[in-house]
Amino acid sequence: MLDDLDAWGVDTRFISKSAQEGTGTFIAEIDQTSGNTMVGTLGANATISGEEVSQTLGQIEAPVLLLQLETSKESAMAALKTGRG
């Protein structure tokens, strides 16, 4: 997959793989009123530390920070704090 992303010109410098955890998996359940419930596991995303996020964001220049909250609370909070700087 990383080779494909590289071939498409996607910057993959900050993508890492976990030797201990698999990828996260989520399922969206949508009811008859269009309400949804997400059920899943974070997998390797839960292992991303706040320090890793802060270090990575320190190397990126971007006008917008988008969070999907599919990582640990620690890493999401680090992103918010670093992004305000």
Tell me the pTM.
Answer: 0.71
pLDDT of residue 49: 92
pLDDT attached to residue 8: 97
pLDDT averaged over 10-residue windows placed end to end, the chain, 85 residues = 92 89 90 91 91 92 86 92 77
- State residue 85's pLDDT score: 58
Task: Tell me how far apart the alpha carbons of residues 74 and 36 are, in angstroms, rounded to a whole number.
Answer: 25
46 and 71 in contact (C-beta within 8 Å)?
Answer: yes
